[in-house]
Amino acid sequence: MTQLPAAHTHAADAAAAPSRSGRPTAADHPKALYGGTSTRRVTVRDLATAKERGEKWPMLTAYDAMTASVFDEAGIPVLLVGDSMGNCHLGYDSTVPVTMDHMTMLAAAVVRGTRRALIVGDLTFGSYQEGPVQALRSATRLVKEAGVGAVKLEGGERSLAQTEAIVQAGIPVMAHLGLTPQSFNTLGYRVQGRGEEASHQLVRDAKAAQNAGAFAVVLELVPAEVAAEVTRSLHVPVIGIGAGPDTDAQVLVWTDMAGMTGGKTPRFTKQYADLRRILGDAAREFAGDVVGGAFPAEEHTFH
Ligand code: KIV
């Protein structure tokens, strides 16, 4: 991949766009994660200062260099090489079969495809549950071989020792709470943190992750009110997916966001494009041209 455009253009373009209300917002700050003027790689420290400023920011998943370069040019400050690659890229029906070999290869591609975004790589199912030594080995591999700037793991209190060990080694950790897809055999795919006991446990998990040194917490599929309380109680950024409007950031799986995912998508996603239809139309048009003899034409032909 040698032709990736320099990422500096997107930040300047985004900065030039006026805010919708015409009034200055946190996104108009020169250091804004989205829309700011900085062209260097985003760091976890930048995310901390965005929370202090009250700036909301977007995060997307990415699984390959070319798609990642598009999001990087669009100014998305954080890209997650999620184990959702199992469903969205590798053809599995869950995240469980994804291995650290898959993750390392695709995370390295995403790092190579980007200039500015902070790249977070997931620790895959079975790569950290045994304990801190295994967790640190997996996290170290992702940093050394793929070049990610941070890793994500599922669990708060239950992953405390793992989080501490990785953070102490100097690797930033993002914790994933609420619906944790690697545990779907226990939890199913339903809203988590409903009811008094479950919501208190969620707050405890979030605080445990923060105290263990996590730089951010993802909350997936939890009631908006609980997510708002967690966001207020933590000094580190909270990133929501299906967690209502009050978290510091929002993440979507890119194939859902862009309309690539086939079939039904969860209610909490929003589709901003219809890429599956567009790609299908392009493929059908190409096939029609080949079958009908319209492609290749003279201008595509060497003599
Ligand atoms: O793997 C993934 O894409 C994720 C997001 C849903 C947060 O963990």
The full set of domain ranges for the chain reads 8-272
Quick one: fold of 8-272?
A: TIM Barrel (3.20.20)
Tokens of 288: 């029609």
Q: Which ligand 1 atom is the nearest neighbour of the CA of 239? A: 7
φ, ψ for residue 22 (rounded to 5)?
85, -15
Token pair, residue 290, equals 């080949």
Residue 251 Cβ contacting ligand 1 at under 6 Å: yes
Q: Is the peptide bond before 296 cis (omega within 30 degrees of 0)?
A: yes
| Shortest-distance atom of ligand 1 to CA 82 | 1
Indicate the range of 23-27, 87-91, 189-193, 210-214 predicted with least confidence. 23-27
Give buried/exposed letters for 255-268 (b at 16+ CB in 10 A, else e). Answer: bbbbbbbeeebeeb
Query: What is the pLDDT at residue 20?
Result: 53
Instruction: For ligand 1, say whether the CB of 72 is within 6 Å of any of its atoms.
Output: no
Could you tell me which of 63, 156, 158 has the C-alpha nearest to residue 102?
A: 63
Give the distance (Å) from ligand 1 centre to CA of residue 72: 18
Range in 11-15, 178-182, 239-243, 246-250 the model is least confident about: 11-15
Q: Does any ligand 1 atom lie closer than 6 A to the CB of residue 61?
A: yes
pLDDT band at residue 30 using 50, 70 and 90 as cut-offs: confident
Separation of 80 CA from ligand 1 center, angstroms?
Answer: 7
Q: 288 pLDDT exceeds 70?
A: yes
% of the chain surpassing 90 pLDDT = 87
**Mutation to probe ligand 1, out of 79, 81, 95 (largest number of atoms < 8 A from CB):** 95
Beta carbon of 218 within 6 Å of any ligand 1 atom:
yes
Number of alpha carbons in the 13 Å side-chain half-sphere of residue 192: 26
CA–CA separation, 173 and 49 (whole Å): 17
Residue 111 Cα to ligand 1 midpoint, Å, equals 17
Whole-angstrom Cα distance, residue 204 to residue 202?
5
Is residue 40 classed exposed, middle or buried when 0-12, 13-18 and 19+ CB atoms within 10 A define those classes? exposed
Nearest CA to ligand 1 atom 5: 82
Average of per-residue pLDDT values in the chain: 93
Task: Give the pLDDT band of residue 26 (cuts 50, 70, 90).
Answer: confident
Q: Of all residues in the chain, what percent carry a pLDDT higher than 70? A: 92
Residue 7: pLDDT band (50, 70, 90) is: very low
Q: How do residues 47-80 score in pLDDT, each as one tens digit?
A: 999 999 999 999 999 999 999 999 999 999 999 9
- String of DSSP letters for 104-149: HHHHHHHHHT-SSSEEEEEPPTTSSTT-HHHHHHHHHHIIIII--S
**Ligand 1 pocket test target in 122, 148, 182, 239 with most atoms within 8 Å of CB:** 122
Cα 29–35–40 angle (5° rounding)?
95
Is the CB of residue 247 below 6 angstroms from any atom belonging to ligand 1? no
For the annotated catalytic residues, the residue numbers are: 220
Give how far Cα 138 sits from Cα of 71, 144, 164, Å.
26, 10, 14
pLDDT of the residue at 203: 97
What type of residue sits at position 248? D
> Angle at Cα 290 formed by Cα 289 and Cα 291, nearest 5°?
95
Residue nearest to atom 4 of ligand 1 (CA): 82
Polymer length of the chain: 303
Phi first, then psi, for residue 289 (nearest 5°) are -65, -40
CA of residue 167 to ligand 1 center, whole Å: 20
For the CA of 84, the closest atom of ligand 1 is 1
Question: pLDDT tens digits for 220-275?
Answer: 999 999 999 999 999 999 999 999 999 999 999 999 999 999 888 899 999 999 99
The Cα-based distances of 12 to 66, 78, 111 in angstroms read 21, 17, 21
Q: Is the CB of 85 under 6 A from ligand 1?
A: no
Structure tokens at 181: 């897809």
Ligand 1, closest atom to CA 88?
3
Q: At what angle do helices 196-211 and 160-168 cross, to 10 degrees?
A: 20
18 — pLDDT class (breaks 50, 70, 90): very low
Confidence of residue 24 (pLDDT cuts 50, 70, 90): low
Q: What is the model's pTM?
A: 0.92
pLDDT, residue 188, reads 86
Does the C-beta of 256 come closer than 6 Å to ligand 1? no
